[in-house]
A and B are shown apart, each in its own frame.
Chain A
Amino acid sequence: MQQINDFAGRLGGVYLLPVVVAALAFVMIGAPSSWVTLTVAGLAMGMMIFLMASGLSLVFGLMDVLNFGHSAFVSFGAFIAASVLAWLSGWLEADAVSLNIAALFLAFGAAILFGLVAGWFFETVIVKPVYKDHLRQILITMGALIVAEQMILAIWGGTPVSVPRPEFLEGSLLIGDITIEIYRIFAFLLGLGVYAALYLTLNRTRIGLLIRAGVENREMVEALGFRVDRLFVAVFMLGSALAALGGAMWAGYETLITPALGAEMMIVVFIVVIIGGLGSIQGTLLGAIMVGLMANYIGYLAPKLALASNMILMVAILLWRPNGLKPAVK
């Protein structure tokens, strides 16, 4: 057994898991074109979930805060982006790609800005008074999520809101008999870019070093002369902004959103954070990709099991690795 573990470790360890899952799915699906389409869809979905979940993982790991209101930022990000895109519909339909891109990035920018400001408010007013008290954290952040949903209902109404997409992200690429949606490629690349930026920030900068150290031992970071409470606010704002960006991306992916979006995504986001390992960006990425791939493969192979696929994945991984796939060192 040890030899198998060592061999798997040399090949990449837990990072090999999505490759193994994809290889198994290839055998079971049989048709290469369907497999490629499902794999790209799974990776794109995984990257969008990663955006939503990465902030929660850091907040969980660094601040030991159970923020059930995290998905409120996802919802607001989605609706704000949808509104900005609707407002700039003229730019979206224009032939000029530059106007398409400008509209898209203004929508994303608005979602991120909301996430930063709302994250600051949420941390300062709602979370700070209940540090170190998990029960109250759950109650107050769940309450905040309900309030946020009601605010969305009051502002945007209860009917589903359609989300216009920029012209340049519409349609699909046809490679032989393989069909790949352009939006999915874009979602994957954007997610990858955000991951790279987060990875470099955490591993190549002093603030990243502080965050990683704070996830392990907050008290010791303070004993070295750093105000972790100020770091908390910054991390919370960053996590909220990433969630809002994830929501904006998800809105473009779904093209029709409802106020229940946040509550629906909350379960998936928590599953990703738990199976990835608390406080770890690599773990969150791994967990999100696993969830994305499994949802697509099982949805194709055994549709009746699709809804349960995430739960089955979580149970299987936690039985194997109770602390998740790649937890931060504590």
Chain B
Amino acid sequence: MSLLTLNGMKTNIGQYAVLHDVTLDVPEGGVFVLLGRNGAGKTTTLRSIMGLWQPSPGSVLFKGQDITAMHTADIARLDIAFVPENMGVFGGLTVEENLILATAKGRFDPARLKRIYELFPALETFWTKQAWSLSGGQKQMLAVARAIIEPRALILIDEPTKGLAPAIVDAMADAFREIAQNTTILLVEQNFEFAKSLGRDMAVIDDGRIAHSGTMADFAADTALQDRLLSLSA
């Protein structure tokens, strides 16, 4: 059974139609990767799922429940976390405050906090520092940590490797593998090598439409299809 289903989703931003027809099934468990060129509609898809932009027409079903018209906050309370492309960390808040804001009851579960320290040791080091003073990689770690500080059914992550050093990208991949053992991740990514190392299932969005969906193994083996759907010259 699908955890998340998008049915004929169309989203306009102002007068511009960005998503024309997005239909997608995200199965429960593992990492589902959404690939696509710049401007194809990847970010808009995630934001539409979160209710930050309203799709119309079309529907978004989560565990069979229609969440299309729900408020973003109510969607988040269904245990859906969102890590935006700009990371969305609150620069004026400390690392601790950023994380505590994402807890359900304003206090940490010691076991989960320990797991976060293990995944991202830098966060423990900079616990009382304001988030604006962190490096790009540390901010990304904080953004992901905030998404997993509570148990989540689904985490939407938008281009987490953008601008990060290769060593941090590797660390992030390890972290995602571990997180995906208990949670479903819908990952939007342009770094194909990174996506290939994580994804079990995948889809490619092109010009606001799902152009291809299947397993990552099949897509990785089909270089002609990759060239057609992902290369800049296509």
A interface vs B, CB < 8 Å? 206, 209-210, 212-213, 215-217, 219-228, 328-330
Contact = CB atoms under 8 A, between A and B. Distances in A.
10 contacts: A206-B101, A206-B106, A209-B97, A216-B92, A217-B88, A222-B72, A224-B76, A225-B73, A329-B130, A330-B91
A212 B100 CA distance: 13
Q: Is the interface of B mostly helix, strand, loop or mixed?
A: loop
A92 B77 CA distance: 53
A217 B77 CA distance: 18
Contacts of A216: 90-93
A217 B85 CA distance: 14
B224 to A, nearest CB: 38
Contacts of A213: 90, 93, 101
B169 to A, nearest CB: 23
A330 B104 CA distance: 24
Nearest to B102: A224
B76 A222 contact: yes
Contact of B88 (A223, A225, A328): A223
A82 to B, nearest CB: 39
Q: Could you say which of B76, B81, B82, B101 has the most chain A C-beta atoms within 10 Å of its C-beta?
A: B101
Contacts of A221: 101
A224 B52 contact: no
Given A209-B97, A209-B100, A213-B101, A223 B72 contact: yes
A328 B92 contact: yes
A220 B90 contact: yes
A223 B82 contact: yes
Given A209-B97, A213-B101, A227 B92 contact: no
Contacts of B160: none
Nearest to B105: A206
Contact of A220 (B77, B84, B92, B132): B84
Given A212-B90, A216-B90, A329-B91, A222 B73 contact: yes
Given A213-B101, A216-B92, A227-B73, 13 more contacts: A206-B100, A209-B93, A212-B92, A215-B92, A216-B90, A216-B93, A217-B90, A221-B101, A222-B52, A222-B71, A223-B76, A223-B88, A225-B104
Contacts of B130: 329
B19 to A, nearest CB: 19
B73 A226 contact: yes
